[in-house]
A and B are shown apart, each in its own frame.
Chain A
Amino acid sequence: MTHAKMDTLALLRDKIRRIEGFEQTAAGRLSTGIPAIDACLHGGLTRGGLHEFFGAGSDRSLAARPTRFIASILARTDGPVIWASEEHLDLSAAGIRRSGLNLGRLICVTAIKGGLTALCEDVVRERGVCALVADYRTPLSLTESRRLHLAAEKSGVTGFLIFRSAALAAAPPASASVTRWRIAGTPSPLSDDTASYSPVASSERWAVDLLRHRSGSLGTWLINPADHVQTHSLPMASALVDRAVAEAPRAVQATDRAGALRA
């Protein structure tokens, strides 16, 4: 009896999932490159959906950290990426290259004032595109974001919306996006192995906040976005999962190796 009930529940869940229109397969997802985050996202960010990004602290209006995060996610995909903005694009070519995204895949478009959303919708309808990244200064209305989401869902193009405004970061409006992220800096451990007159900062550390996740759980992760020219990835940081030091992965790796040696 209980078993039958569980079956019914699973069936209903499956139906709801299908109504919501999400592909639950790993193929339909973009890996973030950080296993802990991917696990929470069931394999990665949904392809053919909208993902919103906000900066934090002093970065709210520049949104450099979200830009780097998105570039590192896109570095693991292939296909053309359209970068749409309404004002003069302030991307730095060297910075984008260092985050792993091949500049040859990037096509930048500056929209006419007030025409950014229409342009985004047009891009998102194009099946050959891998992803759209849009720099927004103003909020999207719920209708606009729903239209954009539906178009993305139909074509399978992933939309990354970067909101670059302090007011928006403080109070994000309602939207139809699948996920919403806030990426903040967090103090890194200082390295004291070199003699110096000033404290030396080591590799930087980010606090990645998943603020919204349709049909999924939320979380906060501390990651080390390392430099990644050759590897084209954000290597698995000493991932401090949910602000607790995770020693487990290293331990697992060690036993694996031991097993292999024994065999």
Chain B
Amino acid sequence: MALAQARALLPELVADDADLMGDREALQVLALWCQWASPLTAMDPPDGVWIDITGCAHLFGGEDGLMLRLHGQMERSGYTARLALADTAGAAHAVARHARNPVAIIPPGRHSEALASLPVVALRLPDETISRLLRVGIETIGQVAKAPRAPLVRRFGQVLTDRLDQAWGLLPESLSPLSARQVVLAERHLVEPISTAEAITVVIEHLVGEICASLEARAEGARALALRCERVDGHVQEIMAGTSAPVRDPVHLTRLLRERVEDIEPGFGIERMALEVTQVEALRESVCRDMMEAGTNAAPMTALIDRLCNRVGVDRVFRLTERAVQFPEMAQDLIPVSVPMPAGVPALASGHDAPRPVRLLAPPEPVRMRDVYPDGAPKTFAWRRHTYLVRGVDGPERVWCDWWAGPVEDRARDYWIVEDTQGERFWLYTAHNGEGPASDSAAWFLHGLF
């Protein structure tokens, strides 16, 4: 039917261009998804999937069970599916598309009867052949089968009889099964259960060697690993390790896993160990070369950072950076190591040139100001049950709040560096609203030592 005709019949018809590539990709995904039923699945473009269930049906309670489950699963995932089970791929193809029932199981050896009444279109023939068959009055497969062979071949070509023989099972037909991207996995079944750390380490080394070889063949590196240890009592322990960059250096990976050996509870012994790469990433050859060079600095550091992250957790390894904030306790930030360091010092960094202590008391500790000099500088103060006499001061340095961040109660702080009689230097401040500290009732805090 032409689109114009269809539109005339149904004005609100929505028409979309066919997305052949998209359909094909979706079909491939569907074919791979079907691998839960059988390891051999193949695409039958444009709209079919072949599943070779030889030897698999009993796992689902026989052929009926399998078909029922397959149909149910397809329906649940939103597909309208027609299923057919037959001796040959050709027969299944024909029955699935042209039989009356949406789910059909052709018993072994009975496909000739099932096919006989189906139209010739079901034989996967070129359009031209079909129209010529129809012109001479051959409409069903049964008619084709009954007709004499030699004139058929002469008139319609070899393809007709080949398709017929394939559907009948007289001519073999090879499907090209799809294979999902294989996981990188290595495992060892141990003759004697092992329980010592040394033995476990040896097995890990073997597994890592195998993994690295297969990663090399695939030009990939591991980003995440899972080591599964099966104990004699059936208990399975899993150890996960991650890397910050794709790695296939056996030394690096072995070291990552060896660190975690102490977490494994061997119990009465481990009888199977499997190492799986749970996340892979393409690894260019040049990167690997850099790692092999002893002189470069970056590679050992990534190895160390990975080990640290695995040991304490990613959120506990960080870099220290400065922020464009005025109040000193907020002027630094901890950023994850994976984030590159911002270059330079923020222009609005707190105390760009003014002295700052290397360590801050968090939160600032209140001090009792006993006496001040006439210009407001501290003279005698008490902190942690000690009284300090000030013999020299430096300051004050007025630090304003970030006015752009919204109103705060105390807008300014006056910081003083004070030296006591012992030569200790304290960083004291008093907060005020910007008009200078109140002469007698100002609160003082110690923010750090120099």
A associates with B = yes
- Are A64 and B375 closer than 8 Å at their CB atoms? no
Contacts of B18 in A (CB 8 A): none
Q: Give B302's nearest chain A residue, CB to CB.
A: A128
Contacts of B129 in A (CB 8 A): none
Is residue B410 contacting chain A, with contact meaning CB distance below 8 A? no
- Are B422 and A57 closer than 8 Å at their CB atoms? yes
- 13 other contacts beyond A184-B423, A198-B393, with CB at 8 A cut-off? A58-B388, A64-B449, A92-B357, A94-B331, A96-B320, A106-B320, A107-B305, A186-B422, A186-B423, A196-B375, A197-B374, A201-B394, A229-B353
Q: Give A96's nearest chain B residue, CB to CB.
A: B358
Q: Mask for A52-79, Cβ within 8 A of B = 1, else 0?
A: 0000011100111101100100000001
Is residue A129 contacting chain B, with contact meaning CB distance below 8 A? yes
- Are A93 and B312 closer than 8 Å at their CB atoms? no
CA separation between A257 and B250, bound complex, in Å?
A: 60
CB proximity of B132 to chain A, nearest CB, Å: 77
- Are B424 and A129 closer than 8 Å at their CB atoms? no
Partner among A65, A88, A112, A229 whose Cβ is within 8 Å of the Cβ of B450: A65
Nearest first, the 9 closest Cβ-Cβ pairs linking A and B are A201-B392, A128-B300, A93-B332, A198-B373, A95-B358, A185-B423, A197-B375, A198-B377, A186-B423
CA separation between A127 and B297, bound complex, in Å?
A: 9
Contacts of B349 in A (CB 8 A): 94
Beyond A92-B356, A94-B351, A229-B353, is A80–B301 a contact (Cβ under 8 Å)? yes
- Are A95 and B393 closer than 8 Å at their CB atoms? no
Q: Enumerate 29 A-B pairs (CB-CB under 8 Å) in ascending A order.
A: A62-B359, A62-B448, A64-B357, A79-B297, A80-B297, A92-B328, A92-B359, A92-B360, A94-B350, A95-B357, A103-B319, A103-B320, A103-B322, A104-B341, A106-B319, A108-B318, A108-B319, A115-B312, A122-B307, A123-B304, A123-B308, A185-B425, A187-B422, A187-B423, A188-B419, A199-B392, A200-B393, A202-B392, A204-B450
CB proximity of A58 to chain B, nearest CB, Å: 5
Is residue B337 contacting chain A, with contact meaning CB distance below 8 A? yes
Contacts of A91 in B (CB 8 A): 320, 332, 358-359
CB proximity of B218 to chain A, nearest CB, Å: 28
Q: Is the interface of B mostly helix, strand, loop or mixed?
A: mixed
CA separation between A68 and B300, bound complex, in Å?
A: 28
Q: Give A67's nearest chain B residue, CB to CB.
A: B358
Is residue A119 contacting chain B, with contact meaning CB distance below 8 A? yes
Is residue B284 contacting chain A, with contact meaning CB distance below 8 A? no
- Are B422 and A185 closer than 8 Å at their CB atoms? yes
CB proximity of B25 to chain A, nearest CB, Å: 44
Q: Mask for B276-297, Cβ within 8 A of A = 1, else 0?
A: 0000000000000000000001
CB proximity of B178 to chain A, nearest CB, Å: 45
**How many chain A residues touch B (Cβ–Cβ < 8 Å)?**
60
Is residue B311 contacting chain A, with contact meaning CB distance below 8 A? yes
- Are A119 and B311 closer than 8 Å at their CB atoms? yes
**How many chain B residues touch A (Cβ–Cβ < 8 Å)?**
66
Q: Mask for B322-347, Cβ within 8 A of A = 1, else 0?
A: 11000010011110010001000100
Q: Mask for B388-401, Cβ within 8 A of A = 1, else 0?
A: 10011110000000
Is residue A146 contacting chain B, with contact meaning CB distance below 8 A? no
- Are B304 and A126 closer than 8 Å at their CB atoms? yes
Q: Which residues 80-111 in A have Cβ within 8 Å of B in the complex?
A: 80, 82, 88-99, 103-104, 106-111
CB proximity of A79 to chain B, nearest CB, Å: 7
Beyond A93-B320, A110-B316, A185-B425, is A115–B311 a contact (Cβ under 8 Å)? yes
Partner among A95, A190, A204, A207 whose Cβ is within 8 Å of the Cβ of B391: A190
Q: Mask for A165-196, Cβ within 8 A of B = 1, else 0?
A: 00000000000000000001111101000001
CB proximity of B369 to chain A, nearest CB, Å: 13
CA separation between A119 and B307, bound complex, in Å?
A: 10
Is residue B13 contacting chain A, with contact meaning CB distance below 8 A? no
Contacts of A103 in B (CB 8 A): 319-322, 341
Is residue B11 contacting chain A, with contact meaning CB distance below 8 A? no
Is residue B176 contacting chain A, with contact meaning CB distance below 8 A? no
CA separation between A106 and B379, bound complex, in Å?
A: 38
Is residue B406 contacting chain A, with contact meaning CB distance below 8 A? no
Q: Mask for A213-251, Cβ within 8 A of B = 1, else 0?
A: 000000000000001010000000000000000000000
CA separation between A255 and B419, bound complex, in Å?
A: 37
